[in-house]
Amino acid sequence: MIYPKLFIPGPTHVDDVTLQAMAQPQVGHRTAEYSELQSAVVSGLQKLLVTEGRVFLFSNPATGVWEAAVRNTVKKGAVNMVNGAFSAKWHTVTRACGLPCEAVNVEWGSAIKPDDVDRALASGRYDVVTLVHNETSTGVLSPVRKIAAMVRQKYPDVLLHVDAVSSMAGVEIRFDEWGLDTCFASVQKAWGLPAGFTVCAVSERCMERSAAMENKGYYFDFMVMDKFHQKMQTPATPSIAHLHGLAKVLRDIDSETPAGRNQRHMQLAKTARAWALKHGQQLFPEKGYESVTMTTIRNVRDWPVQDIYDVLETRGYRMDRGYGQIRGETFRIAHMGNVMPDDLEEYLSQFDAVLKKLGVLQ
């Protein structure tokens, strides 16, 4: 079996050195040896997210942490800010947890702005806001820092949960300074690790709210998480392979430097955007809010996306064909995690060759 190189927005390509770093002998998860590993990972995450607070480790995908965030904190009500498929799903999850919540819908392709959140919170009906930093379905990056500044200033008792699933480890996040209450990411996107694990920074405010909450269940209860976090353990047996993987990627980030890594992602985004525009295509996101980790292209040239996908696959590349209600009308190029400038150049030149083969380009 030959696996195509992935240019989809998750899961992303995992390099062999990282895979090998994950293939370590198991250790008991109640041993000093394990706690040392968790401690190194947590310290690295604190440094990257610029927080002195807790960072919880979940051996499950981010969908679980959507549930954790709301079950630990929604008393009065949550407002789920929705501008795409994943933010909409968080609303579905909040409702499925039986919590009072409402969605505020913003057009797909637009960012969530401080004013949108302000208008919703002015009603006084909510004590929680949920927000997706980088809407992977549309490739829109919302201005979390500005939104958080507004919430902290005008609504000090409202908690702000941020899904950074497809931005963390590719875009700067300053958890304490911005005043976020949770910020989490599963690791199969810009972290460049296999799927199935989520890291989540949690504020003191959030812990205080959780302490007063009932009916949180067990698995996602932040109080239970914290009891074990204090010993640098997790309540249930963790995916130790993922901790080794995270330790390795955190060392890589240290060598590249977080600023250098963010810069690389920005450079890749510029390359992808310029390529799309050069071909007469359009960018789908509202101007000024384009994602840095992926590029969503509005297929105004009516390229035969399925045919391109099929030929790229025979050449060893996995293309994205768009997501949800804009599948086909758009397609996405992921340039995050382990994608280096040479990889993107290679993919775009293969893409051009396929367009020529199909007679789309001369």
| Near ligand PLP by CB under 6 A: residue from 62, 148, 169, 250 | 62
Q: Which is nearer to ligand PLP, 73 or 137 (CB)?
A: 137
Binding mask 131-170 for ligand PLP (x = CB under 6 A): -x---x--------------------------x-xx----
Show contacts with ligand PLP in window 305-344 (CB under 6 A). Answer: none
Q: Which is nearer to ligand PLP, 198 or 299 (CB)?
A: 198
| Near ligand PLP by CB under 6 A: residue from 51, 186, 293, 299 | 186
* 63 in contact with ligand PLP (CB under 6 A): yes
Burial of 255 (0-12, 13-18, 19+ CB in 10 A): exposed
Strand partners, 103: 80
Q: Taking the complex as a whole, how short is the minimal distance between the CB of residue 163 and ligand PLP, in angstroms?
A: 5
**Binding residues with ligand PLP: total (CB under 6 A):** 11
Spatial CA neighbour of 268 closest among 7, 3, 4, 5 = 7
Q: Which is nearer to ligand PLP, 90 or 155 (CB)?
A: 90
Q: With CB under 6 A as the contact rule, which of the stretches 16-24, 55-63, 108-116, 264-272 interacts with ligand PLP?
A: 55-63
- CA dist 44 and 284 (Å) reads 35
Any residues with CB less than 8 A from the CB of 51 and at least 6 apart, and which? 175, 176, 201
Q: Which amino acid is at 275?
A: W
**Structure tokens given for 154:** 């005008």
Alpha-carbon dihedral angle through residues 153, 155, 156, 159, given to the nearest 10 degrees: -120
- CA dist 272 and 274 (Å) reads 6
| Near ligand PLP by CB under 6 A: residue from 61, 143, 258, 304 | 61
Please give the residue ranges that form the binding site for ligand PLP (CB under 6 A): 10, 61-63, 86, 132, 136, 163, 165-166, 186
